[in-house]
Amino acid sequence: MSLSEPAASASSDVETSFRTCPLCEATCGLSIEHRDGVVTRIRGDRDDVFSKGFLCPKGTVLGKFHEDPDRLRTPLIKRDGVHQPASWEEAFTAIADGLVPALDATERDGGAIYLGNPVVHSLDLLLYSPAITMAMGSKKVFSASTVDQRPRELASGLIYGSSFTIPVPDIDRTSTLLLIGANPMVSNGSLATAPDWPGRINALLDRGGSLIVVDPAHTKTAEKATTHLAPIPGSDALLLAAIATELTATGQHRPVDEDRDALETVVAGLEAFTPDSVAAATGLDAAAIRDVATQLAAAERPCVYARLGTTITPFGTTASWLVDIVNALLGALDAPGGAMFAKNPAGSKNTRGLGPFGKEQTLGRRKTQASGMPIELGEHPVAAMAEEIESGNITALVTVAGNPVLSCPDSHRLDAALEGLAFMVSLDCYLNETTRHANVILPSPSHLQKAHFDVAFGNLAIRNVANYSAPIFPLDDNGLAEWDVAARLASVLGGGAGTAQAAAAVDDAIADRLVRAALDSPQCPEGLSEDQIRVAVGNGHGPERLLDLMLRSGPFGDWFGTSDGLSLEALIEQPHGIDLGALKPRIPEVLMTPSGRPEFAHPSLMGDLGRLASLLDGPTDGLRLINRRTLRSNNSWMHNLEILVKGKPRCTMLMHPSDAKTRGLKNGDFATVSSSVGSVEIAVELDDSLRAGVVSIPHGWGHGVEGTALTVAGRNAGVNVNVLTPTAAIDPLSGTSQLTGFEVEVAPS
């Protein structure tokens, strides 16, 4: 029996299956009761080794999502402007006849791919979408990273030699947590996989610890804070620089040995940034900044963690770097209770134990064609997508689990640009704002029909944990597994047939690479042969074999039966997961830098301090729009589930009463919000806890568009905030879009 095939149930008794929630980075264990293919109840799995029963309202709706009549179950082909159901064979033939010639017409240079956020949550897509990219033969890769975490990854690449080496807050052991631009009480955390952030924050406070929150909004997380600072948006890099200077100027930093020279270079470069010099530009009292530095310095186990509110700004890379500098000056980097590095059970670039090696990382080697935006870590910034299509540099596009029309800047322009493509293919669950432009849409099965393992979040978890979930429900009649769809698509794009055999060949090629990587690993036991590996993992097709290869050759692996350790089988025997323990210090073995130490004073980072100094002049007076998440939402794609959208509308604009008054607006009024690129009309919700001069609108809304099939979302449409986001405003180092802190005007509608 293939591991992908769930055991058929003859009886109609209620069965309980345990499964990791695939929706957000918290990776909660779910206990799913179901009967005859219908989910009857979802609760938190109290025996899950990591989440211990925690879940949020979204985790309970996987059954509703499975049943959603709008969820696509067959491929769709656009004929005469209308999407019509088609067979898989027809769909792959249409792609061979349409997309392949479009790619070939530009010698493959005009092809692009956009990888959306759910790719990192999907075992199938993480393992098989690289095959699609490779088969396209295009170097134009876009992803949601450049509207999200790319600055953090870039800073890590420069400092530690790998973009996967991201410090995570050791929240269970810290005594003082400084949280900047993150709202984990609502988002459940990001780049810090920790199911039950709320419980962990409460535990920190219960053990007498402190929570310092820096956020222009008085969020649910700020409500928990022992200290809350509400800065001017976009000024966090200044704040961090001033904290670093204050720590060293007052001798409150902790002694550092190996990295003294590099840190002294950084500290010297930060001299101009003091609590007094940044006060006006951050909108904070110098005394409040000094107090934060003192609280951190006095803490037994301090930790600084920054997230989305700092990365979707023009200084995202610099702010991410300065987080590490402050942690290093506090002795909190790579220390228990501070900012630590996870060890991915599925293996990662930084788990091979090779120790120091690698080339100097440099920036700025590639630029986009139309306007010269930076291409870093192999990706084009999404801010460049519309202009690249308009200038004819991109003529064919594949989107995988992404909805850029709602999530990327200057949406109206991107929406129009997509219509100009010669051919577009989407792999998605819905006919939505983006996929409506596709000539062919290939459906994904529901999440309950797929295997799950969090390959990506092993790099980011606050404990080392491994947990595998088998599919609960079988595929629909005529349904294809998502890995199979991706592999068939890759085969068609490479000029092959979109058949099961072709997909198997793509799969075998990936398995071959993993076998070679295992044999080449410095941890590979002497004498282990290729045959032994192949016999151990078998030759079944699909993600389980690949996962087995990764686990068994990973840092906790059983090396194909030659030692005790992880394997897929071991995980199947433990449906609540295997806890591999608290994080342990990993410097220097985690580093891939030429010096064998963190490159704290990397020239590309030091080189941005001049630009940062230009912020000291202070911002202009205009209103600034910031981003916001709401608990029952998940970016753009869960608004078609009644249970999550019912009740009062969530897509409103929060505004301080003083800002509303000067504009003649009252609670519930409709306002027109305009930026340099667009305008929307939205209901005003007064909030006197928000920093004055700041307004906040959530993203992912703006449904009800012609050509989509989202019945419930259409009735709860909201507005698309990214109609307002300019494409020109990016972090010039990473190319990440500024989605927060840009100027808008607000007037009564």
Ligand X SMILES: Nc1nc2c(c(=O)[nH]1)N[C@H]1C(S)=C(S)[C@@H](COP(=O)(O)OP(=O)(O)OC[C@H]3O[C@@H](n4cnc5c(=O)[nH]c(N)nc54)[C@H](O)[C@@H]3O)O[C@H]1N2
Positions touching Mo ion (CB under 5 A) are 148
**In this complex, which beta carbon is closest to ligand X, that of residue 348 or of residue 636?**
636
Among ligand X, Mo ion, ligand SF4, none, what does residue 729 contact (CB within 5–8 Å per kind)?
none
Pick from Mo ion, ligand X, ligand SF4, none: which does 23 bind, CB < 5 to 8 A by kind?
Answer: ligand SF4
Q: In angstroms, what is the minimal distance from the CB of 474 to ligand X?
A: 17
Nearer to Mo ion, 148 or 685 (CB): 148
Q: What's the closest the beta carbon of residue 182 comes to ligand SF4, in angstroms?
A: 14
Measured between its terminal Cα atoms, the distance across the chain in Å is: 62
- Please, are residues 719 and 681 in contact by the beta-carbon 8 Å criterion? yes
Provide the β-strand partners of residue 83: 78
Stretch that binds ligand SF4, among 19-27, 241-249, 471-479, 664-672 (CB under 6 A): 19-27
Contact call for residues 345 and 455 (beta carbons, < 8 A): no
Pick from ligand X, Mo ion, ligand SF4, none: which does 652 bind, CB < 5 to 8 A by kind? none
Minimal distance in Å, beta carbon 77 to ligand X?
17
Q: Is 637 helix (H, G, I), strand (E, B) or coil?
A: coil
- Indicate the residue among 553 and 725 with the shorter CB distance to ligand X: 725
Residue 10, C-beta contacts closer than 8 angstroms, at least 6 positions apart: none
Q: Are 273 and 238 in contact (CB under 8 A)?
A: yes
Please tell me whether residue 303 adopts helix, strand or coil conformation: strand
CB-wise, 239 or 297, nearer to ligand X? 239
CB of 264 to ligand SF4, least distance (A): 42
Helices (H), 494-566: 500-520, 530-537, 543-552
* Member of 3, 24, 91, 159 binding ligand SF4 (CB under 6 A): 24
Strand partners, 626: 696
Q: Which residue is nearest to ligand X (CB)?
A: 309
- DSSP single-letter state for residue 730: B
What is the distance between the alpha carbons of residues 439 and 451, in angstroms, rounded to a whole number? 28
194 touches ligand SF4 by CB under 6 A: no
Q: Which is nearer to ligand SF4, 3 or 28 (CB)?
A: 28
Is residue 244 helix, strand or coil? helix
To ligand X, the closest distance from the beta carbon of 258 in angstroms equals 31
Closest CA to 270 of 249, 291, 287: 249
Angle 40-46-48 (CA atoms, 0-180°, nearest 5)?
A: 105
122 binds, options ligand X, Mo ion, ligand SF4, none, Cβ within 5 to 8 A by partner type: ligand X
* 21 forms part of the interface with ligand SF4 (CB under 6 A): yes
Strand, helix or coil for residue 679: strand
Closest residue to ligand SF4 in the complex (CB): 59
Contact partner, 598, from Mo ion, ligand SF4, ligand X, none, Cβ < 5-8 Å per class? none
In Å, how far are 9, 329, 332, 469 from 264, measured between CA atoms?
65, 10, 17, 48
CB 259 → ligand X: shortest distance, Å? 27
Q: Does 55 bind ligand SF4 (CB under 6 A)?
A: yes
Residue nearest Mo ion, CB atom distance: 148
Output 219 or 708, the one with its CB closest to ligand SF4: 219
CB of 451 to ligand X, least distance (A): 12
Please state, as a whole number, how many other Cβ atoms lie within 10 Å of the Cβ of residue 489: 29
* Least distance between Mo ion and beta carbon 633 (Å): 12
With CB under 5 to 8 Å by kind, the binding choice for 313 among ligand SF4, Mo ion, ligand X, none is: ligand X
Rounded distance between C-alpha atoms, residue 131 and residue 108, angstroms:
15
How far is the CA of 315 from the CAs of 481, 661, 664, in angstroms?
A: 41, 32, 34
Per CB under 6 A, the segment of 21-29, 151-159, 476-484, 597-605 that binds ligand SF4 is 21-29
The reply on whether position 23 binds ligand SF4 by CB under 6 A is: yes
233 binds, among Mo ion, ligand X, ligand SF4, none (CB under 5 to 8 A by kind): ligand X
Among ligand X, Mo ion, ligand SF4, none, what does residue 59 contact (CB within 5–8 Å per kind)? ligand SF4
Report d(CA 375, CA 185) in Å as an integer: 33
User: For the packed helices 500-520 and 543-552, what is the interaxial angle rounded to 10 degrees?
Assistant: 0
Least Å distance, CB 287 to ligand X, is 19
The answer for 653, left when phi > 0, alpha when psi is -120 to 50, beta otherwise, is: beta
If one counts every other C-beta atom within 10 angstroms of the C-beta of residue 253, the result is: 21
- How far lies 679's CA from each of 147, 383, 533, in Å? 20, 18, 58
Closer by beta carbon to Mo ion, 149 or else 361 = 149
Map the footprint of ligand SF4 across residues 129-188, applying CB under 6 A: 188
Query: Which does residue 28 bind out of ligand SF4, ligand X, Mo ion, none, counting CB within 5 to 8 angstroms by kind?
Result: ligand SF4
Q: In terms of CB distance, is 44 or 555 closer to ligand X?
A: 44
Q: How far apart, in whole angstroms, are the C-alpha atoms of residue 149 and residue 164?
A: 11
630 within 8 A of 701, measured Cβ to Cβ: no
Q: Which residues of 329-362 are buried (b: 16+ CB within 10 A; e: fewer)?
A: bbbbbbbebbbbbbbbbbbbbbbbeeeeebeebe
Residues in binding contact with ligand SF4, number by CB under 6 A: 12
Helical (H) or strand (E) element with 38: strand 38-44
- Sites for ligand SF4 among residues 27-46 (CB under 6 A): 27-28
| Interacting residues toward ligand X by CB under 6 A | 24, 116-118, 122, 144, 147-148, 180-184, 186-188, 190, 214-217, 219, 231, 233-234, 236, 307-310, 313, 401-404, 407, 427-430, 432, 444, 626-629, 631, 633-637, 699-700, 721-722, 725, 739-741
> Which residues are CB-neighbours of 394 under 8 A, at least 6 positions away?
110, 111, 112, 140, 385, 388, 421
Shortest distance, CB of residue 246 to ligand X, whole angstroms? 18
Minimum distance, C-beta of residue 224 to ligand X, in the bound complex (Å) = 13
439 binds, among ligand SF4, ligand X, Mo ion, none (CB under 5 to 8 A by kind): none
User: In terms of Cα–Cα distance, which of 651, 648, 645, 647 is closest to 628?
Assistant: 651
Integer angstrom CA distances of residue 657 from 2, 223, 654, 725: 60, 19, 9, 24
Binding string to ligand SF4 for residues 57 to 86, with x set by CB under 6 A, is what? Answer: -xx---------------------------
Which C-beta is closer to ligand X: that of 537 or that of 680? 680
Q: Note whether 469 binds ligand SF4 by CB under 6 A.
A: no
Q: Which stretch binds ligand SF4 (CB under 6 A): 53-61, 370-378, 396-404, 670-678?
A: 53-61
Residue 429, contacted partner among Mo ion, ligand SF4, ligand X, none, CB below 5-8 A by kind = ligand X
Which partner, Mo ion, ligand SF4, ligand X, none, binds residue 237 by CB below 5 to 8 Å per kind? none
Q: For residues 59 and 216, which CB has a smaller minimum distance to ligand SF4 in the complex?
A: 59
**Are the C-beta atoms of residues 44 and 29 closer than 8 Å to each other?**
yes
Residue closer to ligand SF4 by CB (options 50, 321) is 50
Nearest to 429 by CA among 659, 118, 138: 118
DSSP conformation letters of 411-477 = HHHHHHHHHT-SEEEEEESS--TTGGG-SEEEEPPPGGGS-B--TTGGGTBSEEEE--B--SSPPPT
Backbone angles phi, psi at 373, to 5 degrees: -75, 155
Binding region for ligand SF4 (CB under 6 A) out of 54-62, 93-101, 264-272, 488-496: 54-62
Report how far residue 90's alpha carbon sits from residue 98's, in angstroms, rounded to the nearest whole number. 12
Listed ranges 52-60, 305-313, 652-660, 691-699: which one lies at the site for ligand SF4 (CB under 6 A) = 52-60
**Cβ count within 10 A of residue 497:** 16
Which is nearest to 113 in space by CA: 128, 91, 94, 93?
Answer: 128
* C-beta of 68 vs 148, nearer to Mo ion: 148
Q: Which is nearer to ligand X, 23 or 578 (CB)?
A: 23
Instruction: Please give the residue ranges that form the binding site for ligand SF4 (CB under 6 A).
Output: 21, 23-24, 26-28, 55-56, 58-59, 188, 195
